[in-house]
Amino acid sequence: MSRKKGQENIFEIKWKTDLPYRYSIGKLAVKFFEELKENKKIMGSKCSKCGKVHFPPRAVCAECFIEMTVEDMVELSPRGTLEGFTVINYPFTDPTTGGLRPFPYGYGLFRLKGADTSMMYFINETDYTKMKIGQRVEAVFKEEREGNIGDILYFKVLKNEVKTRGIKNEPRN
Ligand SMILES: [Zn+2]
């Protein structure tokens, strides 16, 4: 709809407002964050039918749709294997803080030992020439943990530890 002449200068007030809300994260996520906060443990969920270990933990198996419970949760290693990575070079509003995350920062796709699925998270390396598929990564935890995903500060790339076999989609050069 076009505006009539004389309506170009619409009176506007701009402001930002907080919009706090609460929602149930479910029993498995509660257990995940409790173990992270209290014991620095990273938990996944293991399907009782097919045995697939999901990380992050899921309430329902993605393969066979079996419902999982807190009793199906298993501890995973804080170490994993890098499957992909990128370096971000532009400002980004961190949804956990509302502030801009300093850049550049690294972001990796990796699989924790004991898990059958991969996850993405911050990594401490920002020079992509120093990273390669198959490098080991290890979780670095906050000292004062609060029970949220920020309790894992980042995954540290262990440059001298490289897995050379069993990596899917490995570059051929
Ligand atoms: Zn399953």
- CA of residue 59 to ligand 1 center, whole Å: 11
Asked if residue 130 lies in contact with residue 80, where contact means CB atoms within 8 angstroms, the answer is no
- CA of residue 6 to ligand 1 center, whole Å: 64
The confidence score (pLDDT) of residue 168 equals 54
The confidence score (pLDDT) of residue 173 equals 38
Sign of CA dihedral 24, 28, 29, 33: positive
The confidence score (pLDDT) of residue 77 equals 97
- CA of residue 67 to ligand 1 center, whole Å: 9
- CA of residue 143 to ligand 1 center, whole Å: 35
157-160: long-range contacts, CB 8 A cutoff, minimum separation 24: 157/82, 157/106, 157/108, 157/123, 157/124, 157/125, 157/130, 157/131, 158/79, 159/130, 159/135
- How do the pLDDT tens digits run along the chain, 173 residues long? 455 666 677 888 888 888 888 889 899 999 999 999 999 999 999 999 999 999 999 999 999 999 999 999 999 999 999 999 999 998 888 777 778 888 999 999 999 999 999 999 999 999 989 999 999 999 999 999 999 999 999 999 998 777 766 655 444 43
